[in-house]
Amino acid sequence: MKKRLLLISNSTNFGEEYLEWPKPHIKKFLECIGVKRILFIPYAGIALSYDGLEASYDAYEERVSTVFNSMGFEIYSIHRETDPAQSVKDALAIAVGGGNTFHLVYMLHQLKLMKVIREAVENGVGFLGWSAGANIACPTMRTTNDMPIVEPESMNCLNLVPFQINPHYIDAVIEGHGGESREQRIEEFMVVNNNVYVAGLREGTLLSVADHKIELKGQRPMRVFKFGINTKEYNPGSNINFLL
Question: What are the residue numbers of the active site?
Answer: 131, 146, 168
In this structure, the strands spanning 74-77 and 198-202 are unpaired
Rounded CA separation 205/7 (Å): 9
The residues facing 226 across adjacent strands are 229
Sheet holding 4-8, edge to edge: 74-77, 37-41, 93-96, 126-130, 4-8, 205-210, 213-218
Rounded CA separation 215/237 (Å): 7
Rounded CA separation 60/72 (Å): 18
Q: How many of the other CB atoms lie within 10 Å of CB of 32?
A: 11
Cβ atoms of 207 and 5 closer than 8 Å: yes
Convert 223-244 to b/e letters by CB count within 10 Å (16 or more is b). bbbbeeeeeeebeeeeebeebe
